[in-house]
A and B are shown apart, each in its own frame.
Chain A
Amino acid sequence: MSGHSVRIKIRDWRGTEERMPPEMEMPSGTGLGDFLETLPLAGGPGYYTILLNGRPAERKITLQDGDEITILPLSVGG
Chain B
Amino acid sequence: MAKKNRFLFIDLSRSKTWEEEPDGVFCRKFLGGRGWALPYLLKNQKPKTDPLSPENILVVATSVISGARGPAMPRVIVCAKSPLTGAFGESEAGGYWAPELNKAGFSAVFVLGKAPEPVYVWIKDGSVEIKKASHLWGKETGETQALIRNELDDNRARVLQIGPAGENGVLYANIVNELAHFNGRNGLGAVMGSKHLKALVVRGTKEVPVSKPERVKEINAWTATEGLKKPAGELLRRHGTLPLVRAFQEMGVLPTRNWTRSIFWGGEKISAENLHETIYIESKGCFACPIRCKRRAEVNTDKYQVDPRFGGPEFETVGALGSILEIADPYLLAKANELCNRYALDTISLGMTVGWLMEAVERGLVTPEECDGLDVRFGNGDVLIPLIKKIVNRQGIGEKMAMGSKRLAREMGLEEEEFLMEVKGQEVPLHDPRAKTGVGLGYALADYGADHLVGPHDTVFASADGPGIKEASGLGIFQAVDPLSLGPEKVRLFYYMDLYWRLIDMLGFCTFGFVPRGPIPLEMMVDLVRAITGWPVSLWELLKAGERTIHLARIFNMREGLSVKDDRLPARFFKDFEEGALRGKGGINKEQFEKAREMRYGMMGWDPETGRPLPERLYELDLGEFVDEL
Interface of A toward B, CB cutoff 8 Å: 13-16, 42-49, 51, 54-56, 59, 70, 72-78
Contact = CB atoms under 8 A, between A and B. Distances in A.
B581 interface: yes
Contacts of B232: 47, 76
B250 A46 contact: no
Given A13-B247, A51-B250, A75 B235 contact: no
Contacts of A46: 462-467, 469-470
B457 A77 contact: yes
A75 B517 contact: no
Contacts of A13: 243, 246-247, 250
Contacts of B272: 15
B626 interface: no
Nearest to A74: B459
Given A42-B229, A75-B459, A78-B512, A15 B238 contact: yes
Most chain B CB neighbours (cut-off 10 Å) among A14, A43, A44, A70: A43
Contacts of B230: 42-43
Interface residues of B, number: 47
Contacts of B460: 74, 76
Contacts of A55: 581
Contacts, number: 104
9 contacts: A15-B243, A42-B234, A54-B581, A59-B463, A75-B457, A77-B517, A78-B452, A78-B511, A78-B517
B267 to A, nearest CB: 12
Of A45, A49, A75, A77, most B-chain CB atoms within 10 Å: A77
Contact of A54 (B229, B250, B315): B250
Given A42-B234, A75-B436, 5 more contacts: A13-B246, A46-B470, A74-B459, A76-B232, A76-B456
Contacts of B621: none
A53 to B, nearest CB: 9
B463 A75 contact: no
Binding site of A, secondary structure by majority: helix, strand, loop or mixed? loop
A19 to B, nearest CB: 13
Given A54-B250, A55-B581, A76 B234 contact: no
A59 B464 CA distance: 11
Nearest to A73: B243
A45 B238 contact: no
Nearest to B460: A76
A69 to B, nearest CB: 12
B241 interface: yes
A75 to B, nearest CB: 5
A49 B246 CA distance: 11
Interface in B448-501: 452-453, 456-457, 459-460, 462-467, 469-470
A37 to B, nearest CB: 10
A56 B581 contact: yes
The residue among A43, A48, A73, A78 with the most chain B CB atoms within 10 A of its own CB is A78
